[in-house]
């Protein structure tokens, strides 16, 4: 059944019907569509726009349709124009002409805007739960590795020693921001547009606040033109999802590197690895690579909707039907990646000795040599130059800094004493960095404590 056939004298071309139809992807919003219709028709009855008896009949029929869909007793029509017309057709087939009153005071424009907002509210809540599960895994792993030392990197070159816990908690902060962004995005999604009509509201005395309350919205949209043409909340959500995928991708990139023979910092569990069809020795981090690859897919959704919306005049334009398919795909992608990544991380083996030995190389304690000299009165820029010469000497002689004799140290500065050996151990390099946010065990435990409080406040 078409909702708009009266003005037309010819049937729509079949290819155009197929091209125009959105049922293949918007059918997933059947529950939101029905619940929105129930709230709408309940309000129509209360406001006297239709009779209370008609309202009750339609509400009961809609509840039955929802139950039948969820029990598999109804198969949605793949030839329908969209989920909205499909549900309305089923309703009319069950209760006759009374069902035709459902759409009183409503346009598909504000109906679609309502459905997608209701759907996204549910999905944001689910994605936040998945992120919180990942965060809990990160905290648990960090608690186990407050003393596990590895090299920190800049430019992918060994820089300074940190702990694995400190490294993990850096990602905790990234995903925490993702959760906070989703929470903030939810506020913009959580506004009720029904009653805006096609673009200019309606002459029926609708009670929009009643519908909002019925559906759990704290506020209604303030401008009918904006309400039906706004897709900012979708763009904002896709931006949030893109950032989540970026953070997953960065983490996956490190896991791919760390699981290589050259690093051997971690080993992926067999359950999260694959082999080669020709090379029997291979154990590939395919899960991490695939998550990294799927990031581009979510980015594509964001760029797509931005491009679609960039030149659209007010109000609704059919271009905007393109919003749902890409949004659903991005949501599905994130929801697929988060749990498999969390489980992969939890099952991963950490090679503590390899991490520690790597931290011993690459002169990761060089900064602490410079700091040692500064504490003895040498200006930092001079201390930096002296330490650079020490590193060059070590490279030429094939030594690490801590392997130098005291006489070799003194050849660079007479201020260097025997206590330098205690000051430049990896353990001292880390424990000395005990400012808030630093890698010392004390400060990392404070980070973990704060993280636990955040998790407890977001059950």
The token pair at 172 is 């905790």
Q: Are residues 272 and 313 in the same domain?
A: yes
The yes-or-no answer on residue 155 being catalytic is: yes
Residue 17 confidence (pLDDT) above 60: no
With tokens 């919180």, the residue in question is: 132
Q: How far is the C-alpha of 125 from the C-alpha of 104, rounded, in Å?
A: 32
CATH of the domain at 426: 1.10.40.30
Asked if the structure places residue 241 within a domain, the reply is yes
Q: Tell me whether residue 154 is in a domain.
A: no
| Structural domains of the chain, count | 3
144 close to 348: Cβ distance less than 8 angstroms: no
Q: What is the pLDDT of residues 75-88, one digit of tens each?
A: 888 888 899 999 99
| Greatest pairwise CA separation for the chain in angstroms | 100
Residue 156 within a domain? no
- Reply yes or no on whether 457 is catalytic: no
DSSP of 415-441, one letter per residue?
A: T--TTHHHHTSHHHHHHT--STTSSSH
Q: Which of 155, 261, 277, 457 is catalytic?
A: 155
Q: 80-84, 395-399, 419-423, 441-445: which has the minimum mean pLDDT?
A: 80-84
Residue 12 has pLDDT above 60, yes or no: no
**How many Å apart are CA 309 and CA 302, to the nearest integer?**
11
Return the CATH number at 121. Answer: 1.20.200.10
Q: Which domain holds residue 33?
A: 5-104
Contact 150, 359 (CB under 8 A): yes
332 in the same domain as 383: no
Mean of the per-residue pLDDT values of the chain:
94
The 10 Å Cβ neighbour count of residue 151 is 21
Judge if 32 and 72 occupy the same domain.
yes
Domain-terminating residue out of 307, 334, 356: 356
The reply to whether 384 and 340 lie within a common domain is no
Q: Looking at the predicted structure, is the pLDDT value of residue 4 above 50?
A: no
Tokens of 304: 């797509």
pLDDT, one tens digit per residue, over 86-128 is 999 999 999 999 999 999 999 999 999 999 999 999 999 999 9
> Which of these is catalytic: 55, 260, 276, 277?
276
CA-based nearest residue to 231, from 168, 310, 285, 125: 310
Q: By three-state DSSP, how is residue 153 classified? A: strand
Encode pLDDT of 210-251 as tens digits: 999 999 999 999 999 999 999 999 999 999 999 999 999 999
Task: Give percent of the chain above pLDDT 70.
Answer: 95
């Amino acid at each position: 059944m078409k909702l708009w056939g009266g003005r037309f004298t010819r049937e729509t071309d079949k290819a155009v019907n197929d091209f125009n139809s959105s049922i293949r992807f918007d059918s997933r919003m059947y529950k939101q569509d029905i619940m929105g219709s129930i709230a709408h028709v309940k309000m129509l009855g209360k406001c006297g726009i239709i009779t209370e008896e008609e309202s009750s009949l339609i509400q009961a029929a809609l509840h039955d349709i929802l139950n039948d869909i969820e029990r598999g007793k109804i198969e949605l029509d793949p030839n329908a124009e969209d989920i909205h017309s499909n549900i309305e057709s089923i309703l009319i087939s069950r209760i006759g002409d009374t069902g035709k009153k459902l759409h009183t005071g409503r346009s598909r424009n504000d109906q679609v805007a309502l459905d997608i907002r209701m759907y996204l509210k549910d999905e944001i809540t689910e994605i936040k739960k998945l992120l919180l599960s990942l965060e809990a895994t990160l905290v648990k792993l960090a608690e186990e590795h407050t003393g596990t030392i590895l090299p920190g990197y800049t430019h992918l070159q060994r820089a300074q020693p940190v702990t694995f816990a400190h490294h993990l908690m850096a990602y905790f902060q990234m995903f925490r921001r993702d959760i906070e962004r989703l929470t903030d995005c939810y506020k913009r999604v959580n506004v009720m547009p029904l009653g805006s009509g096609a673009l200019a509201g309606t002459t029926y005395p609708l009670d929009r606040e009643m519908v909002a309350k019925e559906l759990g919205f704290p506020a209604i949209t303030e401008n009918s033109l904006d309400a039906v043409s706004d897709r900012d909340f979708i763009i904002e959500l896709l931006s949030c999802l893109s950032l989540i995928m970026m953070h997953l991708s960065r983490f996956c990139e490190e896991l791919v590197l760390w699981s290589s023979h050259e690093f051997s910092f971690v080993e992926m569990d067999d359950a999260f690895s694959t082999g080669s069809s020709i090379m029997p020795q291979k154990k590939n981090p395919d899960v991490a690579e695939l998550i990294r690859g799927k990031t581009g897919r979510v980015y594509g959704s964001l760029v797509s909707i931005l491009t679609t919306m960039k030149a659209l005049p007010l109000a609704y334009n059919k271009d905007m039907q393109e919003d749902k398919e890409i949004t659903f795909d991005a949501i599905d992608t994130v929801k697929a990646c988060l749990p498999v990544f969390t489980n992969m991380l939890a099952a991963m083996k950490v090679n503590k000795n390899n991490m520690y030995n790597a931290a011993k190389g690459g002169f990761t304690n060089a900064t602490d040599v410079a700091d040692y000299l500064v504490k003895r009165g040498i200006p930092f820029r001079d201390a930096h130059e002296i330490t650079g010469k020490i590193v060059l000497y070590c490279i030429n002689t094939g030594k690490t800094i801590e392997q130098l004799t005291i006489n070799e140290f003194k050849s660079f500065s007479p201020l260097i004493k025997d206590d330098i050996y205690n000051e430049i151990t990896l353990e001292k390099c880390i424990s000395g960095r005990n400012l808030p946010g630093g890698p010392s065990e004390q400060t990392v435990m404070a980070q973990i404590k704060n993280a636990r409080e955040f998790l407890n406040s977001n059950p």
